[in-house]
Structure 1
Amino acid sequence: MGTITVNNVGKAYKQYKTRWSRLAEWVLPGKRKYHDLKWVLQDINFTVGAGEAVGIIGINGAGKSTLLKMITGTTQPTTGSINIAGRVAALLELGIGFHPDFTGRQNVYMAGQLIGYSVEEISSLMPAIEAFAEIGDYIDMPVRVYSSGMQMRLAFSVATAKRPDVLIIDEALSVGDSYFQHKSFDRIREFNGQGTTLLIVSHDKTAIQSICDRAILLNAGRMVMEGEPEAVMDYYNALLADKGDNKVKVEQKVQEDGKVQTISGSGEVTVTDIRLINEEDQPVEVIDVGQNVTLRVTVTVHESVSKLVMGYGIKDRLGQVMYGTNTYHTKQVVENLKTGERYVFNIKFPANLGPGTYSVQTALTSTDTHLEKNYEWRDLALIFNVVNMSKVFFVGTSWIEPEIEVVN
């Protein structure tokens, strides 16, 4: 079984003020340093247990890819240590190790030997690699004629030809068609279910939340949060809107059920009441599949603003958005709001959701996203349950009433 232990890891690169400084440091006597250290990662500590799936997220430049390169041994840490137990398969940079002038088949043999397969093993695995990659006759053509998606197909097929103890994946899977992405993630889930330890870097919120047991958020080269994927992704979402404005605050609260609620924003407008209402105008926490309900959101203006967009999303228990929209897209932007005013948004809809627990997130912004002006973003603003009391049995996250015709 594979494990990964990262202990007090840091990575720094030398920066020389002039092109002669590097030479001077090499040839001049004494211990004088002619460089400064540029730290890209500092104080990184975490452990991935056997069979666990952990996701690493963060904005571009946060240090995610550098961390994975150190974990796989492509580069060495400046401080700290990394220990991996078990056979490792890594898919970092797209087609790494592929020679453009060799055919796909020849590259499979070279890449397979780099992973640790013998020539005999690669030959026995070749039919399965070809079948999974689905690139047809291109397997015997030079890699230079491949599209990026074809390179990813072949690289992933080689890296996962045998179930590894540890599987490490960077953003490479974001390349290519959606069909192969689904196919790849199905294999990843299968391996993880069989005991493979998984470390994945992705901006794909759905992938992180559906596959991973934990998530780690990197920002400016440091770990800023580690925990349940939904809570970490909510915090990451809040950080995206933080542009150094001192008015913007990010707060997290642990709820009674143990879930972490994230609230962020500058506070000019906030949600002061939210409830789910049935057709008798009564608040409800449990509703039937397909029941007509109203989401009533009351907001209060604490400081005059020129525009207000109210958005909401309904998320399942894993934090994946089932449906969401806002009043920018419905052309109902409120303008010239004054201090002390209250607005009530009544959102009527049939709850065509599968049985389960759902949450509502709300967003109060100035435009169609929270990236320009985020007055308040509130996750887990409301929790409700859907049960099937009146429909035929079905599975899934959505109620899509069928008409089934049987013809003999």
Structure 2
Amino acid sequence: MKEQVDLLRVENLGKAYRDYESEWHRFASWAGVRFTPKNESWVLRGVSFAMGCGEAIGIVGQNGAGKSTLLKLITGVLRATEGSIELSGRVAAILELGMGFNPDMTGRQNVYHAAGLMGFSAQEIHSRIDEIEDFAEIGEYFEQSMRTYSSGMQMRVAFSVATAFRPDILIVDEALSVGDAYFQHKCFERIRQFQKDGTSLLIVSHDRGAVQALCSRAILLEQGVLVKDGEPQAVMDFYNAIIAEKESVTVRTNRRSDGRVQTISGTGEAVVERISLLDVSGTEVEFMGVGQKACLLVEVRALSSIPRLVLGYMLKDRLGQVVFGTNTHHTGQAQLDVAAGELLQFKIEFAMNLGPGSYSISTALVSADTHLQNNYEWRDLALVFNVHNSNLPVFIGSSWMAPEIEIARP
């Protein structure tokens, strides 16, 4: 069996910002002389993980969790206070916009400058300069001063030069979020091609869809500490639960019989007692055909008196990306003055216009339009079912959109 090679290994990594009594104490501390700092603030501590060849890891967490600090430590922009980092292979990084660019130089000049800092010779850069210009698609601005660029144009040039040569490890911070939708598609397509060719990816993003589509693994940072490392859907579900709770004291995880990790959070003032998928005959099923009529039956028990109760649900594909979701706040069916002990039965009928595959349903019991206020219960993977195509024309994709095709041969 071939041994897994780690391109990146992080061990007990930590970063602290310290204030000393004097600048002399600070300089002496860099030389290894121990002085007790006047103030010490840890932004990252005790972080350990490894990344193998061709692996893609998403780093998620709230603002201030330490995500960007972690990437800057890995790329050498910042110096670690404790711990170690081992890197193998060539690294390309897209961190803060404008990093490594001179605003008084043109886009073309900045490409030569930035690629030179990455270790490429003038001849190597010259061989790719036309490709970089074409990929960035900023037209005549490529020959103008970069101080005239919008943030989106800066990102176009930064991504184009960073990915002009396929790296062993590609590290991307939130910079991609400033681009327009068209260029984001181009970026993700190039990233996917790099992954096919063996590049490892480390990406920071708040975009659940991007993390789950690109990554085979996710890491959750909370207040500078690594709190979860695992399959992207499970990590993102846990992350969403923490956001809803503000504190993770009521967040619970269970491993289902199919191996997937279910996250449940909330105050427990209302709970889902039963959830079933029914066919047209009212029979509970786990498999449904494309286009068939379906009924989602959800029974909710109020364990406390609730002034306003809203049921929300989301239908997700096997990667955890949302296919459809709504709630009874948006449909104008919020239930008022629900008594403690009362049972409510929701029947949600819809056509199963989905592509073949495995799907799950998440439920939310809240008081308004989101689970960020009065989260009574949030339940991921509340129900898992499969869709198959037995009697419709062959098609691909996640949705069945029955076409009417007219053909003329005048």
Task: Write out aligned runs for 1:6-405 (5 A).
Answer: 6-15=10-19, 21-23=21-23, 25=25, 33-244=36-247, 249-405=250-406
- Contact in 1 for aligned 2:59/2:218 (Cα 8 Å): yes
Q: Note the alpha carbon deviations across 1:341-381, whole angstroms, 9 max, x for none.
A: 01011111001000000000000011111111110000110
CA distance in 2, matches of 1:192, 1:53: 8
| Cα distance, 1:34–1:70 mapped onto 2, change above 3 Å | closer
- Contact in 1 for aligned 2:12/2:48 (Cα 8 Å): yes
CA distance in 2, matches of 1:350, 1:156: 42
Which amino acid is 1:339 matched to? A
Residue 4 of structure 1 is matched in structure 2 by 8
For structure 1, the 5+ residue unaligned runs are: none
How far 1:406 moved relative to its partner?
Answer: 1.0
Q: Partner of 2:128: helix, strand, or coil?
A: helix
Q: Partner of 1:241: helix, strand, or coil?
A: helix
| Cα distance, 1:2–1:166 mapped onto 2, change above 3 Å | farther
- Contact in 2 for aligned 1:53/1:214 (Cα 8 Å): yes
CA distance in 2, matches of 1:389, 1:34: 70
CA distance in 2, matches of 1:332, 1:260: 31
Q: Note the alpha carbon deviations across 1:117-160, whole angstroms, 9 max, x for none.
A: 11111111011001111111110011111110010001000000
Q: Note the alpha carbon deviations across 1:285-342, whole angstroms, 9 max, x for none.
A: 1111011111011000001111111000100000001000111111111111110101
How far 1:26 moved relative to its partner?
Answer: 6.0
| Cα distance, 1:33–1:51 mapped onto 2, change above 3 Å | same
CA distance in 2, matches of 1:231, 1:31: 43
How far 1:32 moved relative to its partner?
Answer: 5.7
CA RMSD of aligned residues (A): 1.6
Which amino acid is 2:128 matched to? L
Percent same amino acid among aligned pairs? 56
| Cα distance, 1:26–1:376 mapped onto 2, change above 3 Å | closer
Which amino acid is 2:305 matched to? S
Which amino acid is 1:87 matched to? R
Q: Partner of 2:227: helix, strand, or coil?
A: strand
How far 1:85 moved relative to its partner?
Answer: 0.1
Length, aligned pairs only: 401
- Contact in 1 for aligned 2:18/2:39 (Cα 8 Å): yes
- Contact in 2 for aligned 1:130/1:139 (Cα 8 Å): yes
Q: Partner of 2:376: helix, strand, or coil?
A: strand
| Cα distance, 1:192–1:32 mapped onto 2, change above 3 Å | closer
Q: Note the alpha carbon deviations across 1:197-233, whole angstroms, 9 max, x for none.
A: 1101100101111111110000011000000000000
Q: Partner of 1:162: helix, strand, or coil?
A: coil
- Contact in 1 for aligned 2:18/2:37 (Cα 8 Å): no
Q: Note the alpha carbon deviations across 1:73-132, whole angstroms, 9 max, x for none.
A: 001111110011000100011121111111000000000101111111111101100111
- Contact in 2 for aligned 1:2/1:166 (Cα 8 Å): no
Give the TM-score, by structure 2 length.
0.95
| Cα distance, 1:135–1:333 mapped onto 2, change above 3 Å | same
Give the TM-score, by structure 1 length.
0.96
CA distance in 2, matches of 1:308, 1:95: 48
- Contact in 1 for aligned 2:6/2:50 (Cα 8 Å): no
